[in-house]
């Protein structure tokens, strides 16, 4: 069974433990600028929202890469950047509609969430369980379909 990150923004306190854990896991340093997950601060709404690669089924980043530097990890299902192949052209950063593939000037390559080989440091570090690693069947798409099925789009279209 594939697993994916599930983010419950209502539980996020903005502590940034996820960002620190991510940077340490991937670079061995506590440096928020090197994190592959970001916590956005929506001041007017009074909310903090963690955000990272959603590992899209369509994988626009992977499909756009001209050198096939992004491949699916068979064990985790994550779309992973092979830095040895990446040429730093940034086409994947443009292709990602969510802005979760980032260019790293220090390396001249791109980075994105790779689910930490199936043990995401962000989820393990989150003290409030705002970020969890759950069975993929439980997340997003089915919930969105159920919600969409409850709306009466035909009535709105005729109004």
CATH of residue 43's domain is 3.30.70.20
> Rounded to whole angstroms, how far apart are CA atoms 118 and 14?
24
Q: In terms of domains, do 75 and 106 share one?
A: yes
Q: Let me know whether 133 and 118 are in one domain.
A: yes
CB atoms within 10 A of CB 151: 9
Residue 14 maps to a domain: yes
pLDDT at 83 over 90: yes
Residue 158, domain member (yes or no): no
87-116, pLDDT tens digit by residue?
Answer: 999 999 999 999 999 999 999 999 999 999
Adjacent-strand bridge partners of 71:
80
Q: Give the residues across from 142 on adjacent strands.
A: none
Quote the number of domains for the chain. 2
Contacts (Cβ under 8 Å, ≥6 apart) of 109: 81, 83, 86, 88, 103
The rounded radius of gyration (Å) of the Cα atoms in the chain is 17
Q: Is residue 16 scored above 70 in pLDDT?
A: yes
**89 domain-assigned:** yes
Residue 107 lies in a domain: yes
The 10s digit of each residue's pLDDT in 57-75 is 889 999 999 999 999 999 9
Cα angle 100, 94, 69 (rounded to 5 degrees) comes to 75
108 and 74 housed in the same domain? yes
155: in domain: no
Q: Residue 77 belongs to what domain range?
A: 56-112
The pLDDT of residue 146 is 62
Using a cut of 0.75, tell me whether the model's pTM lies above it.
yes
Instruction: Give the pLDDT confidence score for residue 148 in this predicted structure.
Output: 60
Q: Within this chain, do residues 48 and 82 fall inside the same structural domain, yes or no?
A: no
Q: Is residue 157 part of a domain?
A: no
121 pLDDT above the threshold of 70: yes
């Amino acid at each position: 069974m594939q697993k994916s990150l599930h983010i419950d923004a209502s539980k996020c306190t903005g502590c940034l433990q996820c960002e620190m854990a991510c940077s340490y896991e991937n670079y061995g340093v506590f440096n928020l600028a090197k994190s592959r997950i970001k916590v956005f601060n929506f001041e007017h709404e009074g909310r903090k929202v963690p955000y990272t690669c959603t590992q899209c089924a369509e994988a626009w980043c992977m499909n756009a890469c001209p050198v096939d530097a992004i491949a699916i990890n068979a064990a985790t299902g994550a779309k992973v950047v092979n830095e040895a192949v990446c040429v730093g052209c940034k086409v994947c950063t443009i292709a990602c509609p969510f802005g979760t593939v980032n260019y790293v000037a220090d390396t001249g390559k791109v980075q994105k969430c790779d689910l930490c080989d199936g043990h995401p440091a962000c989820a393990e570090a989150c003290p409030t369980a705002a970020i969890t690693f759950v069975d993929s069947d439980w997340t997003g798409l089915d919930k969105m379909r159920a919600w969409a099925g409850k709306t009466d789009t035909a009535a709105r279209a005729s109004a």
